[in-house]
Amino acid sequence: MAIINKSSLTEIQLAERWGLSIKTLKDWRRKGTGVGYLKLGKAIRYPHEIVEKYEAEHMCSVGILQ
């Protein structure tokens, strides 16, 4: 289980990392899609461990020579 710590990303940091709007991340949470997150009170955090796993699982190999 992931723990909120200094290496967790805020929704602002994740939106910047992925070039998305904060609204998109909020929509994903509302719909139950996208990357997993932790919510404590009003605080939303995306642990690096979960973000990196999500990125690896959604990596596309289009255009990569094999």
Give residue-wise pLDDT tens across range 9-50.
Answer: 999 999 999 999 999 999 999 999 999 999 989 999 999 999
Q: Residue 51 has what pLDDT? A: 96
57 three-class SS: helix
In the structure, what pLDDT confidence band is assigned to residue 7 with cuts at 50, 70 and 90? confident
| Cα–Cα distance for residue pair 56/44, rounded to 1 Å | 22
CB 40 within 8 A of CB 5: no
Q: Is the pTM of this model over 0.85?
A: no
